[in-house]
Structure 1
Amino acid sequence: MSGGRRNTWCGSRSGLSKAFASAPPAQAMCRSTSFSLMNDDLLLQRLLDGTLTSREQLEVNQRLRDDAGLRAQLREIAEQAVLMGDLARQRDLATPVSISNAADRSLGARHWLALAASIALLAASAGFWMSRREVPVLTLEDSSGSIVWSQRGDLRQSVADGDQLSAGTLETIGETATAQLAFADGTLIMLSGESELSFSEDGQKRLLLRRGSLSAQVKPQPEGSPMLVRTPSAEAEILGTVFNLSTRPDDTLLKVDEGLVRLRRLADGSSIEVPAKNSAVASLDSALKLNSEATPEPRSAWSFDFTTTMPPQHWRGVSDGTHIIASPYVASRKPSGNVVTHFGISVRTTLLTPPVSLMATEGGVVRYRFKQEQRAPLQVMLLTSKRHGGFGGNFEVKLSADDLHPDRDGWCEIAIPLREFHALSRKHPSPTGNLLDSVLISSFQTDTKLTVSRFELTTQP
Structure 2
Amino acid sequence: MKDQNEFQELWNDYLEGEITTDGMIELQTYFAGDEQLLQNSVDSFQIHRLLGYDAQADEQHEAFVNSTMSQLLTRQHQVRVATDVRSSPDTAPSSPFPRSLTNRFLIAAIAVAASILIVLSYDTNSQNERSPIIAKTTNVHGAIEWTHENGMVEVITENNKPLTGGTLETMTGDSTVTMQFTDGTIVTLDGLSLLTISEQGQKILRLKRGNLSADVQPQPSSKPMMVFTEAAELRVVGTQFNVNTRDESTKLTVNEGEVLLKRTTDGESVNVVPHHQVVASLRDTSQLRSVQRVDQIHRWKSNLQTEASHGQWVPSLLELGGKLKSAVINGSMSEKAATIAYKKAASLNDQQGSLWALPSRFGLSVVVTVNQQATVPIVLEAGSRLRVTGRGYSATDLVVGITTNEPDAGFSGKYEQQINLTESMDPDTQEFSLEFPIEAMNVINEKFPASPIGREFVGCWCSHPTNQVTKFKITGIEIIGTESSK
- TM-score interval for Structure 1 and Structure 2 normalised by the shorter chain: 0.5 to 0.7
Task: Tell me what 2:292 maps to.
Answer: 294
Task: Tell me what 1:439 maps to.
Answer: 460
Q: In structure 1, how many angstroms separate the alpha carbons of the residues matched to 2:422 and 2:151?
A: 48
Which amino acid letter does the alignment assign opposite residue 480 of structure 2?
T
Q: 1:219 aligns with which of 214, 217, 220?
A: 217
In the TM superposition, what are the counterparts of 1:45-444 in structure 2 within 5 Å? 133-159=130-156, 160-285=158-283, 287-304=285-302, 310-321=305-316, 322-330=352-360, 339-341=361-363, 343-349=364-370, 351-354=371-374, 357-374=377-394, 376-404=396-424, 406=426, 411-428=431-448, 429-444=450-465
State the Cα distance separating 1:365 from its structure 2 match. Answer: 0.7
Question: In percent, how many aligned pairs have the same letter?
Answer: 27
Cα contact 1:326–1:442 (8 A) shared by 2: no
Residues 286 and 320 (structure 1), Cα distance of their counterparts in 2 relative to 1, 3 Å cut? closer
Cα contact 1:197–1:209 (8 A) shared by 2: yes
Which amino acid letter does the alignment assign opposite residue 242 of structure 2?
N
Q: In structure 2, how many angstroms separate the alpha carbons of the residues matched to 1:235 and 1:258?
A: 18
State the Cα distance separating 1:404 from its structure 2 match. Answer: 0.7
State the Cα distance separating 1:421 from its structure 2 match. Answer: 1.0
Q: In structure 1, how many angstroms separate the alpha carbons of the residues matched to 2:401 and 2:155?
A: 24
SS in 1 for 2:396: coil
State the Cα distance separating 1:228 from its structure 2 match. Answer: 1.0
Runs of 5+ consecutive residues of structure 1 not aligned to the other structure? 1-130, 331-338
Q: Deviations over 1:160-195 (max 9, x none)?
A: 211111122222122322111111222111111222
Structure label with greater radius of gyration? 2
TM-score, normalised on structure 2?
0.60
More helix by share: 2
Q: In structure 1, how many angstroms separate the alpha carbons of the residues matched to 2:292 and 2:408?
A: 16
Cα contact 1:318–1:327 (8 A) shared by 2: no
Which amino acid letter does the alignment assign opposite residue 437 of structure 1?
V
Q: In structure 2, how many angstroms separate the alpha carbons of the residues matched to 1:173 and 1:405?
A: 28
Q: Deviations over 1:95-123 (max 9, x none)?
A: xxxxxxxxxxxxxxxxxxxxxxxxxxxxx
Q: Does 1:453 align with 2:475?
A: yes
State the Cα distance separating 1:247 from its structure 2 match. Answer: 2.2
Q: Deviations over 1:130-173 (max 9, x none)?
A: x9743211111112112222222331112221111112222212
Cα contact 2:147–2:167 (8 A) shared by 1: yes
Q: In structure 2, how many angstroms separate the alpha carbons of the residues matched to 1:289 and 1:392?
A: 32
State the Cα distance separating 1:215 from its structure 2 match. Answer: 1.1
SS in 2 for 1:181: strand
Cα contact 1:180–1:189 (8 A) shared by 2: yes
Cα contact 2:392–2:421 (8 A) shared by 1: no
Q: In structure 2, how many angstroms separate the alpha carbons of the residues matched to 1:388 and 1:217?
A: 12
Q: In structure 1, how many angstroms separate the alpha carbons of the residues matched to 2:404 and 2:477?
A: 17
Q: Deviations over 1:347-383 (max 9, x none)?
A: 210x433366432333221012323334622221122
Which runs of at least 4 in structure 1 moved beyond 6 Å after TM superposition? none
Task: Tell me what 1:125 maps to.
Answer: none
Cα contact 1:242–1:259 (8 A) shared by 2: yes
Which amino acid letter does the alignment assign opposite residue 278 of structure 1?
H
Cα contact 1:233–1:283 (8 A) shared by 2: yes
Residues 150 and 190 (structure 1), Cα distance of their counterparts in 2 relative to 1, 3 Å cut? same
Which amino acid letter does the alignment assign opposite residue 325 of structure 1?
L
Q: In structure 1, how many angstroms separate the alpha carbons of the residues matched to 2:232 and 2:197?
A: 16
Q: In structure 1, how many angstroms separate the alpha carbons of the residues matched to 2:395 and 2:187?
A: 40
Residues 202 and 396 (structure 1), Cα distance of their counterparts in 2 relative to 1, 3 Å cut? same
SS in 1 for 2:175: strand
Residues 448 and 359 (structure 1), Cα distance of their counterparts in 2 relative to 1, 3 Å cut? farther
Residues 241 and 277 (structure 1), Cα distance of their counterparts in 2 relative to 1, 3 Å cut? same
Q: In structure 2, how many angstroms separate the alpha carbons of the residues matched to 1:218 and 1:229?
A: 12
State the Cα distance separating 1:264 from its structure 2 match. Answer: 0.9
Q: Deviations over 1:384-428 (max 9, x none)?
A: 333354442322211223431539755432211012211222222
Cα contact 1:169–1:197 (8 A) shared by 2: yes
